Amino acid sequence: DTGVSQNPRHKITKRGQNVTFRCDPISEHNRLYWYRQTLGQGPEFLTYFQNEAQLEKSRLLSDRFSAERPKGSFSTLEIQRTEQGDSAMYLCASSLSGEGSPLHFGNGTRLTVT
Amino acid sequence: SQQGEEDPQALSIQEGENATMNCSYKTSINNLQWYRQNSGRGLVHLILIRSNEREKHSGRLRVTLDTSKKSSSLLITASRAADTASYFCAFRMDSSYKLIFGSGTRLLVRP
């Protein structure tokens, strides 16, 4: 068990560019979550996968955001036409099924849009 | 928008003192969890309390839950400098898979 891995750790991009982040969850975990966190705030939910199915998506997520989890393993989060307001830490977490299963978080990808 | 609020927003104590953080929420829940986050890192799960429990202990951590007041508290006893971190409560609404996080308490333990 190597934990949840996220790549890259940091990403600096210019406004208008597209970016893609990757998350490798703990291998036996079938639930995968994406969150966004800005300085001094708690994580904000973006989307949730059960295996390969995207079951819930935040209304905060605009059309510029898309997430996939092909084959129910790793996941990618893409942001198109980035804006300065997208600058944040993007956190991925995974868990087993079952009420109360704790989330295991990666160390996040810090995005800076200039 | 956050549906969980924590207070205080920041807390500074001396090593050896106890630290108490409070969380309030607005909906019915099945359980409430507490997480810790060191600067620049991901969150780490600390403890879970179910809606039919009133108090739970884990090492130096004590969590209480009052579902009638929709509130929970986390007590860290005999604090250490290594406890310096942000602490978040988190819960699920009955009809949702997502875990909603509070706004967090930033704890500083001075050596």
Per-residue pLDDT tens digits for B69-98: 999 999 999 999 999 999 999 998 777 778
What is the distance between the alpha carbons of residues B67 and B101, in angstroms, rounded to a whole number? 17
Q: Which residues of A touch B35 (CB under 8 A)?
A: 103
Compute the distance between CA of residue A74 and CA of residue B24 in angstroms, rounded to an integer: 34
Chosen from B98, B105, B106, B107 to mutate, greatest number of chain A CBs within 10 A: B98
Query: What is the pLDDT at residue A81?
Result: 96
Q: Of B44, B88, B92, which has the smallest distance from its Cβ to A42's Cβ?
A: B88
Query: Which amino acid is it at B64?
Result: T
Length of chain B (residues): 111
Q: What is the mean pLDDT of chain A?
A: 94
Tell me if chain B has a CB within 8 Å of the CB of A54: no
**Closest-CA residue to B28 (of B47, B56, B52, B48):** B52
pLDDT tens per residue across span A80-101: 999 999 999 999 999 998 878 8
**Residue pair B91/B25 in contact by the 8 Å Cβ criterion:** yes
Q: Distance between CA atoms of B104 and B22, rounded to whole angstroms? A: 9
Q: Residue B40's Cα: distance from chain center in Å?
A: 19
B44 CB neighbours in chain A (<8 A) are: 105
Give A 62-81 residues with CB within 8 A of chain B.
none
Q: Are strands A19-24 and A5-7 parallel, antiparallel or unpaired?
A: antiparallel
Q: How far is A83 from chain B (nearest CA, A)?
A: 20
Calculate mean pLDDT across residues A61-89: 94
B-chain residue closest to A48, CA distance: B98
Write down the pLDDT at residue A29: 94
**A1 confidence band (pLDDT: 50, 70, 90):** low
Give the model's confidence band at A71: pLDDT under 50 very low, under 70 low, under 90 confident, else very high.
Answer: confident
Distance of CA A102 to the CA centre of its chain: 17
pLDDT < 70 regions, chain B? 1-3
